[in-house]
Amino acid sequence: MRACRDERARVRGAQRGSVSDLEALFRMHWPRAFRAAYLVTHDAAAAEDIAQESFLAAIRALDRFDRGRPFGPWLHRIAVNRAIDWTRARALRGEVELLDTVSAPPQPGSDDDTLAALARLSPEHRAVIVMRYLLEFTPGEIADALDLPRGTVNSRLRRGLDALGDEL
Amino acid sequence: MKHDLERIEIPGESEARGRSWIVLEVAFGEREPVERRRKMLRPVIAVAVAAALLAAILSPPGRAVLDGLRETVGIERAQPALFSLPAPGRLLVASDAGVWIVQEDGAKRLLGRYREASWSPFGRFVVAAGANELAALEPDGDVRWTLARPGVRSPRWTGTETDTRIAYVDRTGLRVVAGDGTGDRLVVAGYRGPFAWRPGKGFVLAHSDRPGRVSLYDVAAGKVIERSAGGRVDAGEPATIRRRGQGSEVVVGRRVVFRSAGQLDRPTASPDGRWLLVPWPAADQWVFVRTNGTGLRAAANVAEQFRSRSFPRVEAWCCGS
């Protein structure tokens, strides 16, 4: 509750032009926006662009933002939708994924396993998994954010989890 | 699951956060905070809106109100497609499908799967940015040269008939390469914010590495030659968009040349300076407005024409065909 009040105060401050309040909002929400975008796109540069563009969109819309709504979910929703769009566009372009670094072979149970298992899901399935388990949206909120029927969200969650369970 | 997703290490996260904050801080410094309406006005506005809707339904004069509401979905007389441009020149457009050139007669050519692009100084070539590639192209799509770089964006070409430079940013910072693709080098490490070439002689890049501060970097000298305490990087807008409640106004000089009931994007001027292309994303329209306020044309279904889910972005309107 206190965090919500703090966030509302920060949004109010940012609307009035306070850089320190914007920075506080950035510190609170950029890491998750970046992580969510990365987990959907599996591309760190794209995730950086998406998180940054989502914040820029939020800044542009700040004056119209309803302070009664939480800022974080609003921002994260923009980021995840952009990440899905980016991933679909990349699939259309037929790009080959370029790895930033040559990493060691993944060890069982390591972070790489989770990432690799996620990568084998479709972007739509990754998005619902990320929204549910990283961003802690409810299935109803995911349905609303992605403009999907609730049943579709539930089935994607179930299939996504099943696939991840098999992989891990 | 939450724990698993949170502990995945992302390469370069800390650097990405630093770069993003610089860009956001600069962008935030350039916005103009709007005084919020007082809460007590809300019921008055709600009553006024209800009364206007009732008038529209009940009385013939109220049709004007309905017409006004329709404006929120764009210009009603818009052509169903972009059949031609109202002035000589060619457009560069970026959509989900890639970068396009639009000829004066409305013919469109997809140059390739690029994200952004800009014209060379005399419109003979195009420089385009892909995810990990900078490419110089002929307007027919032939590739002159490419440069593999990570996370390329914002290419800008400047120079004379015989000597040109392209500035762009990638994951390492602000970089400059000669127009023939040689001599690529990093000029401002870690910088990913706004920049612009200074008009006139030489190759001088203006960039804002701190909110409110503009630095001028001379590419030939390889150093910053001037820093100003105030100001911002401004590529020189042909017109400004002024917000009016939910609507917008396009202002040229001090004259309002177009009003809309929805939010408009940054306009692009035709090469002869007589027309503005004003994007209206919510209406999926491009509105062409005469800069003297005497003419108006619109084309609808813009996204579909450029095979895009998101609203296409006009990169530039350049030069004769």
Q: What is the 3-state secondary structure (H, E, C) of A19-38?
A: HHHHHHHHHHHHHHHHHHHH
B140-155 per-position pLDDT tens digit = 889 999 999 988 999 9
| Neighbouring residues of B46: CB distance < 8 A, sequence distance ≥ 6 | none
Does A100 or A161 have the greater pLDDT score? A161
Dist CA A71 CA A69 (whole Å): 6
| Partner residue facing B150 (CB), from A16, A35, A45 | A45
DSSP-derived secondary structure for B248-287: EEEEETTEEEEEESS-----EE-TTSSEEEEEEGGGTEEE
pLDDT of residue A142: 92
Average pLDDT over residues A47-67: 84
> In the predicted model, is pLDDT for residue B66 greater than 60?
no
| Cross-strand partners of B136 | B127, B145
The amino acid present at B140, given as its one-letter code, is D
Burial class of residue A126 in the structure, from the number of CB atoms within 10 Å of its CB (0-12 exposed, 13-18 middle, 19+ buried)? buried
CA B85 – CA B178 distance, rounded (Å): 32
pTM of the full structure: 0.55
**In whole angstroms, what is the distance from residue A159 CA to residue B206 CA?**
51
Q: What is the pLDDT of residue B321?
A: 53
- Judged against a pLDDT cut of 90, whether residue B315 lies above it is answered with yes
For residue B260, pLDDT over 80 is answered with: yes
Closest CA in chain A for residue B309? A85
CB B21 to CB A23 under 8 A?
yes
Give the pLDDT band (50/70/90) at residue A1.
Answer: low
Q: Which residue of B has its CA nearest to A48?
A: B16
Sheet with strand B108-112: strands edge to edge: B108-112, B98-102, B90-95, B313-318
**Per-residue pLDDT averaged across B162-168, rounded?**
94
pLDDT digits (tens, 9 = 90+) for B177-228: 999 999 999 999 888 888 999 888 889 999 987 777 888 999 989 888 988 8
Q: How many Å apart are CA A11 and CA A75, to the nearest integer? A: 12
Rounded Cα–Cα distance for residues B304 and B302 (Å) = 6
Q: Which of A98-102, B235-239, B300-304 has the lowest mean pLDDT?
A: A98-102
Confidence of residue B108 (pLDDT cuts 50, 70, 90): very high
Q: How far apart are CA B19 and CA A52, in angstroms?
A: 9
The pLDDT assigned to B82 comes to 93
Query: Is pLDDT at B174 greater than 50 in this prediction?
Result: yes
Q: Report the percentage of chain A scoring pLDDT > 90.
A: 32
The pLDDT score that the predictor gives to residue B46 is: 40
**Inter-chain contact A22–B28, Cβ cutoff 8 Å?**
yes
**Residue for token pair 């989770």:** A114
Alpha carbon B54 to chain centroid, angstroms: 39
pLDDT (0 to 100) of residue B305 = 93
Q: What is the rounded average pLDDT for all residues in chain A? A: 81
Taking the CA of residue A132 and the nearest CA in chain B, the distance in Å comes to 9
In B209-238, the residues whose Cβ lies within 8 Å of chain A are 211
B277 alpha-carbon distance from chain centroid: 11
Q: State the pLDDT at residue B60.
A: 38
Q: Which residue has the higher pLDDT, B47 or A124?
A: A124
Q: At residue A29, does pLDDT exceed 70?
A: yes
